Structure 1
Amino acid sequence: MQRCYSKPRPKDSYDYVSLLQYHGDPRRLAQIHSRVITSGLECDRFVAAGLVARYAALGRAGVAAARQVFDRAPHRDSFLWNVMLRGYARAGTPREALALFARSRAAAAGNRYTYTFVVKACAAVGDGAGRVGQAVHALTVRAGVEPDVFVGNALVAFYARCGDVAMARKVFDGVTEKDVVSWNSIIAGYAQNGHSDEAVALLRSMLRRGADCRPDHVTLVAVLPACAASGAVREGLWTHSYVVSTAIVMNAALASGLIAMYAACGRLDIARVVFERVLDRTQAVYTSMIQAYGSHGQGVEALDMFHQMLANGIAPDGICFVSVLSACAHGGLVDDGLEVFDMMDDHRVEKRQVHYACVVDLLGRAGQLSRALGVVEAMPFEPGRDVWGALLGASRLHGDIELAERAAERLLVLDPGNAGRYAALAQMYDDAGRWDDASTVRTMMRDRGVNKPLASSIVEGDMDA
């Protein structure tokens, strides 16, 4: 006869803390919490911290219960405050984390973990958190924790998220003991803010450090778009070789970056080889290959890839439709492009400004300016600068000054600081011999303080320099 043995009930805080480490299921967690209450140990600082951490790990579903335990704890030290702050951060409720931090300053002294969680919360809030993040940064300096690698990494990511790469670099340079996360944060910050050359240069600097700080998967995913944008073929090829030699798993993000890099280098054949070697092809991987074909004017191949994706049961999103529509525009596939545009309704993907701009570009490149204007006028919302910009480009391509003037009139209101809009219209007037009108546009450009961008070239450097 089989005997059943029941475990003895925990009697002290150590037992409950041990239980909480191994049980994260919501139902089991609630049972343990009930036993904690009946044992009178809910106010124990270690048990309270364990309950807060476990509830917060459930995300939004458990953060309210975590806060209840936190509020009932009579002794809240820095450790417990940090656990709750981290819980809010992980639950995707950064504003609550910032509000809690404001309360904590009067109750407990913050340490490096406190400021790490709070800075990450500032970055997660996004728009509107700039001043708060700067104030928190000032507090880290006052507390003497700014050079700490955890705080520093969080600050680099925060400033990069706000678009202030100069400040991100200043913080990065001030971190005394940089780790791979430090390098990843600043490289990604430069790449995501359009500073591709600087991102590639940082990769070179990272490689010169040797074995103590080798790139990881995150580094490669961050730097590949920068290699593609800056034409850094050497670094891109090194990245692929590094992936192979270190047996890093070729996931969707890494494969997409390699495909884009090889496409930017003009090696569609290798981009396709990378695509074929990805076992679990996601929508992002298909989109990257579609973009690669489209950027080289191979609309038919891009369209075939799109239909292959659909045949494999992978649903497209808005970005994917932009890639297909752009490929059709560059390949002159007007009917196919319009059919793809109609398919967006079938897949319940919202048609946005960028999609209408692609259709206007599609028709405009084919010389169907009246149909392009008809699309603009029939839009269910007010056309934006991308739509009018596409119409201006098409008008210039086919020499329709009247339509170009109409598009430019709207653009000079919607996008008054874009020098390219003025230059395109002035050039059209020059080509038509309307010198006075061209001079008027250039005078308007000068009076508004709009500077024509200077041409630049990118010269690759030696990675070992």
Structure 2
Amino acid sequence: MNINDNQSQSIIWTQIERKCLLLLQQRKNSKLSLLQIHAFMLRHSIESNLKLLAKFISTCSSIPFTGILHARRLFDHSLHRTDNFICNTMLKAHVDNRQFKQCITLYQLLRFDLTGFIPDNYTFSSLAKACGLSKGFWEGQEIHNHVLKLGFLSNLFASTSLVDMYSKFGSMNYAHKLFDEMPVRSQVSWTVLVDGYARNGDLITARNIFHQSPAKDCASYNVMIDAYVKILDMDSARYLFDEMPERNVVSWTSIIDGYCNQGDVNSARLLFDTMPNKNLYSWNAMIGGYSRNKQSREALRLFDRLESCSWFEPDTVTIVSILPAVADLGALDWGIRLHCFVTRKKLDRATNVCTALIDMYAKCGEIEKAIRIFKEMPEKELATWNALINGLAINGKAKEALEVFSNMKRNGFIPNEITLLGVLSACNHSGLVEEGKKWFNAFDEFNLKPGIEHYGCLIHLLGKSGCLEEAEKLIEEMPYDVNGVVLSSFLSACGFAKDVERVERMKKKAIEMEPWNDGNYVMLRNLYAEERKWNEVEEIKGLMKKKGAKKEIGFSVIEVEGRVLEFIAGDQMYQEEETMIFFILGNLFLHMTDYGSCT
């Protein structure tokens, strides 16, 4: 077949080829449907159409887990496996699936293949990305050498990819040198260099290069905004955001996420509502922001709005963002509903989703369901074990938590700080003093350093177990400045033990540190009242008034038919239901009276 025949084949497609392409372009292809399409291609002998074959490989590789394996098997047995277009498609598929080692290995195999594969600028783009993301410095140097030998260093696409690769290595001297030697630079080249300096923490150089850039597009601004957001410099981020001539969804989402991370969810929500166009990332950022800032009811309301919107469907990030809000409210009906959605959409294949479900069920008191999900998981990560250990701890199952901890170590997982906090929490909940001290002293064994939260956990355990002298000694010896949480915990333990002498030593510091903490004042007032120290009682009342501390209003949260209702002491929100509530309480009182008279 001559060149003209090849060109005509690439332009004129048969009806069957068009039909096959249409099938591959469908949004939701499954593994089964792709196997059927492959059979269709083989039956009609159209796999020789290289563009169609490349489209099949890229579509197939987008199917999670097994898709890339089938794509690679097809590539390895293809008669066109040395065609540049097909090879580049396969290399890119490996990178897109984060199979960086396989990408580099395939390139090495193709180089030594005698059939004459010749790499081009697209080849080196995928390889540079694979080396950069896998931190393969020596492999990256080898790729750089091949680019140089084959004369692609002057190619804008290849040289920009190398600048990005060295930036990901953290080798900004190499990256900047390559950038300076580029005969032609695009806006992408400038943005890549700015991003490299920003990612490596040199924000001053990043800002200078950003201002030197001859033209700035959305991507350039987004890189700088993201850098400022990461260091919580929201004033600079907002200044650039307001300065942008055009904004895209990434710009809006980045600034929303920044405000959420800073705790300013009101500003974030204002921007979210103002956005001209939203995507699922925007919804996830706002829902996650509410969850992280303990505004759980707002998170659920926003998730409800997302579900009622027909344009987007929740994904794994959405589920992982909303489940902590469910756990925080103890809204079990919501949790069960989300679990059903996850199962129906097959999102439970993701380890982080199952981990979030374990955490949610444990915090809602359904520890058996949490254990069942854990046991059914084909693969577990350290966060999964941590979620179950902590879940068992908060449900008072210290023995089971310690057993899971032992199993985790037997399975080859190395504990981290969160694991040991869960273990100490288990000991704390069940009053296992010796066990708690044993695991606190085991930090060195795992090359870990206890944080203030670990000290706080052990101090609380010692305090409530009556080991006040040991707890006070630990406070004095710990390498951290004592915080309000630790002091309040110890003060409470002293109050419970009626150790007035220790209370006197600690109360001044506790009040100075947290003058608004009503719990400290209430504990001190009650202790002095029990000891009949009425002058001190009046002193505490005066201090409470002077410091502006008010006793926290009691409230309860219940879930009724999927609605989370909050009842606050003295609230008049539910006046219509008040008659019914008192009627039911009256009936309950009668039943209790009858039961008491019968027994």
Do the two structures share a fold, i.e. TM-score over 0.5?
yes
| Equivalent of residue 120 in structure 1, options 223, 226, 235 | 226
Q: Which amino acid is 2:291 matched to? A: A
Shift of 1:267: 0.9
Q: Report the Cα distance in structure 2 between the residues aligned to 1:303 and 1:263, rounded to whole angstroms.
A: 16
Question: What's 2:236 paired with?
Answer: 132
- The structure 2 residue matched to 1:196, chosen from 281, 296, 302, is 296
Contact 1:94 1:124 (C-alpha < 8 Å) held by counterparts: no
Q: How far is the alpha carbon of 1:284 from its aligned partner?
A: 1.6
Query: What amino acid does structure 2 have at the position aligned with 1:260?
Result: D
Which of 122, 135, 145 is the matching residue for 1:18?
122
Report 1:57-456 matches (<5 A). 59-73=168-182, 76-88=185-197, 92-96=199-203, 99-126=205-232, 129-140=233-244, 143-145=245-247, 148-210=248-310, 212-456=311-555
Per the alignment, residue 596 of structure 2 pairs with: none
What is the CA RMSD across the aligned residues, in angstroms? 2.8
The residue number in structure 1 matching 2:148 is: 34
Matched position secondary structure for 2:555: coil
Residue aligning to 2:109: none
Change (3 A) 1:66 1:230: same
Q: Please state whether the residue corresponding to 1:244 is helix, strand or coil.
A: helix
Question: 8 Å contact 2:316–2:350 — kept in the other structure?
Answer: no
Shift of 1:183: 0.8
How much identity, in percent, do the aligned residues show?
27
TM score, norm. by length of structure 2: 0.68
| 1:403–1:234 Cα change, 3 Å | same
1:377-407: CA deviations, max 9, x gaps? Answer: 4435544333322211211222223222323
CA 1:217–1:3: 2 relative to 1, 3 Å: closer
Amino acid in the other structure paired with 2:200: T
CA distance 1:443–1:294, shift in 2 (3 Å) = same
Contact 2:257 2:268 in 1 (8 A): yes
Alpha-carbon distance, 1:309 to partner: 1.7
Work out the CA distance in 1 between the residues paired with 2:359 and 2:366.
10
Q: Contact 2:125–2:158 (CA<8 Å) still a contact in 1?
A: no
Mapped to 2, the partners of 1:325 and 1:299 lie a distance apart of 9
Checking the alignment, whether the CA contact within 8 Å between 1:33 and 1:51 is kept in structure 2 is no
Larger radius of gyration: 2
Contiguous gaps of at least 5 residues in structure 1: none
Change (3 A) 1:295 1:464: closer
| CA–CA distance in structure 1, aligned partners of residues 439 and 516 of structure 2 | 33
1:83/1:432 Cα in 2 relative to 1: closer, same or farther (>3 Å)? same
Q: Secondary structure at the match of 1:343?
A: coil
* Paired residues, number: 443
TM-score w.r.t. structure 1 length? 0.86
Distance 2:113 2:235 in 1: 65
Residue 361 to residue 67, structure 1, CA distance change in 2 (3 Å): same
Higher mean displacement: 249-258 or 343-352: 249-258
Contact 1:184-1:218 within 8 A present in 2 as well = yes
One-letter amino acid of the counterpart of residue 165, structure 1: V
1:367 deviates by: 2.1
The aligned amino acid for 1:27 is Q
Contact 2:300 / 2:322 at 8 angstroms: preserved in 1? yes
Shift in Å, 1:194: 1.8
Shift of the 34–197 alpha-carbon distance from structure 1 to 2, 3 Å rule, reads same
Shift of 1:43: 5.8
User: d(CA) in 2 for partners of 1:233 and 1:359?
Assistant: 31
Structure 1 residues 464, 265: closer, same or farther in 2, change over 3 A?
closer
432-441 or 284-293: bigger deviation: 432-441
Note if contact 1:354-1:386 (Cα within 8 Å) is conserved in structure 2.
no
Alpha carbons 2:483, 2:513 under 8 Å: kept: yes
Query: Which AA in structure 1 matches 2:164?
Result: A
Q: CA, structure 1 residues 202+433, in 2 after alignment: closer, same or farther (shift >3 Å)?
A: farther
Match of 2:164 in 1: 53
Check whether the contact 1:153–1:181 (CA below 8 A) recurs between aligned residues. Answer: yes
In structure 1, what is the Cα distance between the partners aligned to 2:149 and 2:279? 43
Gaps of 5+ in 2: 1-111, 129-138, 565-599
User: CA offsets per residue over residues 17-51 of structure 1, 9 Å max, x none?
Assistant: 33423432413422144247xx5x75664454343
Preserved CA contact (<8 Å) 1:231 1:265: yes
Deviation at 1:113, TM superposition (A): 1.7
